[in-house]
């Protein structure tokens, strides 16, 4: 491939990489998207999209497709395995705060497909599959990206949106600071209709318990159920059919084996990159920060990275902002990852899982009190829906498109 230093190279074809690529194409900036996989990964990963994310996706015309292939979730429930329903939060309370007072539950790979379909219609866009990155190095006023195949590719800037194991972040030797939770998470999906057996169940449910708390999330084809797995139980044992069936029967004892759509096990972290910028290379999404999934914030926070990065780097390229605006991007997005997302998701984990009954019930009682008034509902939902975080970003930057 000939040397081309006009384009931006985006590494990673997940929702964050596709979103930031769409931001650049909208501004008339050429993009080369590199993806290590041979095709778009379709594993069941994140599936919750918050109101500010939907507002951003309005500009690309994909929200109707998200609704068609997904489910509109108007409420969030907190439950206790002994007490049942504790608090329900109606996202309609945010009707004056957002044009989308709900979440949409849809598989993240579908959103990538919607965006790629639009991107591939542009002559400014190119995607390359089987293009794993080995090194990234700034050279003069450009960046050289070397693939594992040995091929060297050049661009004006590089965005590393290549996930938690980011080759871009590792190539720049950026520390990924934080910790790993002791419990691992087992996610099991099943087409079995839980709502037929659990009265008034919402599409999004967080269920507290000192021994085995749960998250119950509905996508259009499947219920996804998250279980904590503690030592000394091994991954192999937790993933065994017998163990999976036993856990599901603990949720609903239907008298028969459940049909299983998929199972997966993963470690859970709270980590943030030491910096989101090194010269002409910037990090976004899981390459920059990972967190507990309790609250559905990780993917959305990454898309908000793409929102600000697309706006600010686009402005630097067209010379309406100075280059040091990118330091502002790195600072604001890192602060939000730590002060908003990590704090909220860790609090969610404590609320659901604390083995100290007084701590757990106090947290649930606080939620119950908030849910009883419109003011309390709105206060909780502004934080839980990430509207507070995006408003902070807008206020700090000013003029965000």
Indicate the domain borders of the chain: 8-73+100-177+270-353
- Any idea which of 46-50, 235-239, 345-349, 389-393 has the lowest mean pLDDT? 345-349
Residue 22 pLDDT = 98
Average pLDDT over residues 187-192: 97
Reference 272, options 349, 183, 333; nearest CA is 333
Q: What's the pLDDT band for 249 if we cut at 50, 70, 90?
A: very high
Asked if the model's pLDDT at residue 210 lies above 80, the reply is yes
The HSE-up count of residue 300 (CA atoms within 13 Å, CB side) is 30
In the predicted model, what is the mean pLDDT of residues 286-315? Answer: 96
Q: Which residue has the tokens 């029967």?
A: 249
Mean pLDDT of 127-145: 96
All residues at 6 or more sequence positions from 116 whose CB lies less than 8 Å from its CB, including other chains? 13, 18, 40, 127
DSSP track, 36-85 = SSSS--------EE-HHHHHHHHTTT-HHHHHHHSEEE-EEEEEETTTEE
Q: Is the pLDDT of residue 1 over 60?
A: no
Query: What pLDDT score does 2 carry?
Result: 42
- Host H or E run for residue 144: strand 142-147
Which one has a higher pLDDT value, 141 or 54? 54
Q: Which of the four pLDDT bands, split at 50, 70 and 90, describes residue 153?
A: very high
Provide the pLDDT confidence category of residue 42 given band limits of 50, 70 and 90. confident
The secondary structure of 91-123, three-state, reads: HHHHCCCCCCCCEEECCHHHHHHHHHHHHCCCC
- pLDDT average, residue stretch 210-215: 92
Percent pLDDT > 90 in the chain is 88
- Phi/psi of residue 77, nearest 5 degrees: -115, 145
- What band does 3 get if pLDDT is binned at 50, 70 and 90? low
* Top-tier CATH class for 8-73+100-177+270-353: alpha beta
Please, which pLDDT band fits residue 4 given cuts at 50, 70 and 90? low
Q: Where is average pLDDT lowest: 67-76, 99-108, 290-299?
A: 290-299
CA distance 372 to 79: 15
Ordered alpha helix ranges (H), 255-297: none
Give residue-wise pLDDT tens across range 44-90. 778 999 999 999 999 999 999 999 999 999 999 999 998 899 999 99
pLDDT at 283 exceeding the cut of 70: yes
Largest alpha-carbon pair distance within the chain? 67
Q: Report pLDDT for 41.
A: 83
pLDDT band at 400 (very low <50, low <70, confident <90, very high): confident
Predicted pLDDT at 166 = 98
Whether the upstream peptide bond of residue 232 has omega within 30° of 0, thus cis, is yes
Q: What is the pLDDT of residue 27?
A: 96
pTM, full prediction = 0.95
Give the Cα-Cα-Cα angle 238, 243, 184 (nearest 5 degrees): 25
Region 163-169: mean pLDDT is: 97
Alpha carbons 398 and 94: distance in angstroms, whole number:
23
Q: What residues are paired with 270 via a beta bridge?
A: 179
pLDDT for res 31: 98
């Amino acid at each position: 491939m000939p040397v081309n230093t006009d384009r931006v190279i985006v590494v990673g074809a997940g929702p964050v990489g596709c979103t930031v690529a769409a931001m650049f194409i909208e501004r008339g900036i050429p993009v080369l998207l590199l993806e290590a996989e041979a095709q778009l990964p379709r594993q069941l990963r994140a599936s919750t999209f918050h109101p500010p994310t939907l507002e951003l996706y309005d500009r690309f015309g994909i929200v109707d497709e998200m609704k068609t292939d997904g489910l509109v979730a108007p409420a969030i429930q907190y439950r206790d395995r002994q007490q049942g329903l504790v608090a329900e939060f109606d996202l309609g309370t945010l009707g004056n705060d957002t044009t989308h007072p709900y979440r949409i539950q849809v598989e993240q790979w579908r959103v990538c497909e919607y965006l790629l379909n639009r991107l591939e219609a542009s002559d400014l866009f190119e995607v390359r599959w089987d293009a794993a990155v080995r090194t990234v190095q700034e050279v003069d006023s450009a960046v050289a990206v070397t693939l594992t195949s040995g091929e060297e590719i050049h661009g004006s800037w590089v965005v590393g949106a290549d996930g938690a194991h980011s080759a871009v972040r590792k190539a720049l030797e950026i520390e990924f600071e934080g910790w790993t939770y002791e419990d691992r998470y087992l996610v099991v999906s099943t087409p079995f209709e839980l709502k037929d057996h659990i009265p008034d169940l919402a599409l999004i449910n967080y269920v507290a318990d000192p021994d085995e708390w749960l998250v119950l999330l509905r996508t259009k084809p499947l219920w996804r159920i998250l279980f904590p797995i503690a030592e000394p139980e091994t991954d192999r044992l937790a993933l065994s059919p017998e163990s999976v069936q036993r856990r599901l029967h603990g949720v609903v004892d239907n008298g028969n084996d459940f049909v299983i759509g998929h199972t997966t096990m993963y470690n859970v972290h709270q980590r943030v990159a030491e910096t989101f910028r090194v010269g002409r290379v910037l990090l976004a999404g899981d390459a920059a920060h990972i967190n507990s999934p309790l609250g559905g914030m990780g993917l959305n926070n990454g898309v908000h990275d793409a929102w600000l990065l697309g706006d600010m780097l686009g402005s630097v390229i067209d010379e309406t902002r100075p280059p040091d605006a990118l330091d502002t991007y790195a600072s604001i997005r890192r602060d939000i990852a730590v002060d908003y997302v990590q704090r909220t998701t860790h609090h969610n984990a404590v609320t659901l899982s604390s083995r100290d009954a007084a701590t757990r019930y106090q947290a649930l009682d606080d939620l119950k009190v908030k849910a009883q008034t419109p003011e309390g509902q709105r206060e909780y939902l502004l934080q839980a829906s990430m509207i507070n975080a995006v408003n902070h970003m807008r206020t700090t930057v000013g003029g965000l498109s």
